[in-house]
Amino acid sequence: MDPILWTPWRMPYLRGEGGKPSGCVFCNKVDADDDVEYVVARSEYVFVTLNAYPYNNGHLLIVPYAHVPSVEDLPPEALLDLMQTLNKSIAALRRVYNPQAFNVGANIGEAAGAGIAAHFHVHVVPRWGADTNFMTVTAGTRVIPDLLDNTYRELRAAWDAPIAAPDE
C-alpha cells in the first residue's frame, strides 16, 4: 500500500473557501481576536503571530503595528521592542519545542522573496538537525506534525515565563 499524506486542514484553502482577505493580512490582525488570528503576544510596537504556512512547527512572525515596507522606516523605540520581542520569542520556542537552532530573518522587498512586501516582518523559525526530510526533497512538501491550534496554545502558555540562558 502506498503511503498516504492526510492533510484535511488544507481543504478549505484548496477549495478557495474564505477567499483572500481584503487589505493587509497583518494590519487585519491588529484589532482582531488573538485566538482567531493566532496572535501569540502583543507589545507596544509589535505583535507575534504564527505563520499560517509554517516552515517548521513554531514558525513565528514578529510584525510591527506600523504598516511600513522596511526596517529602516521604524523608529528606535519600535526597533528596541522588536528585538526584545525576538528574544522572548526564542525563549518561548525553546521552552515548548527545545530546538537546536533558529533561523531569524526578514525578506525586505519582493525581489528578496517577501510574500507581503508592503508590511515589514521578521521570521523566527526553530530548527533541529536533519529537520528537512524526503518530503521536502522529493515532493516539495513540508511535513508539520502539529496543528496551528496546538502550537498557538502552547506558545501562549510559555510566553511569559522567565527567560533563561540556553544550556550549552
Active site residues: 121
Cα–Cα distance between 49 and 158 in angstroms, integer? Answer: 14
Among 65, 61, 115, 126, CA closest to 90: 126
Listing from the earlier edge strand, what are the strands of the sheet with 122-127?
Answer: 39-42, 46-50, 60-64, 122-127, 101-105
Which grid cell sits at 10?
488544507
Residues in the chain: 168
Strands of 65-137 (E only): list them: 101-105, 122-127
Of 27, 12, 9, give the one whose Cα is nearest residue 121. 27
Grouping H, G, I as helix, E, B as strand and the rest as coil, residue 42 is: strand
- Cα–Cα distance measured from residue 124 to residue 102, given in angstroms and rounded to the nearest whole number: 7
Which residue type occupies 101? A
Q: Which residue has the cell 526530510?
A: 133
